[in-house]
Amino acid sequence: MACQRGSAVSAQAMLAIFRKWYWARKLDAGFLLEGFPATLLHAKVFDEWLETRGEALTACFTADPLSAQPVVAHYRTLGLVMSPAFPTAA
């Protein structure tokens, strides 16, 4: 398997891994994901999973809230994009 060798994981393999995890977790268990969804397809599929279980994201964090990346743009349209507040240099 690619993740055991340290090589890139295909979009389909990543969806399969996260699908197994998502549907096995308890409904009331919170979660924090990093690097997923990585593509707009992942984001839309994940949105469908959330809707099917009656769940919703509360926020999506990004270091660049103005990013034009498709996943960031998708969640920005849903009003979920947040950016951590970094202290400014004095």
pLDDT of residue 62: 83
Q: Residue 7: which pLDDT band, with cuts at 50, 70 and 90?
A: low
Are 45 and 15 spatial neighbours (Cβ–Cβ below 8 Å)?
yes
- At residue 57, the 3 state secondary structure works out as coil
Percent of the chain with pLDDT over 90: 37
Q: What percent of the chain has pLDDT over 70?
A: 83
Residue position matching structure tokens 């994201």: 57
**Across residues 49-77, what is the average pLDDT?**
87
Among candidate residues 65, 59, 2, 72, the one with its CA nearest the CA of residue 31: 59
Residue pLDDT, tens place only, 8-41: 778 888 899 999 999 999 988 888 888 888 889 9
Q: Give the H or E element holding residue 73.
A: helix 70-77
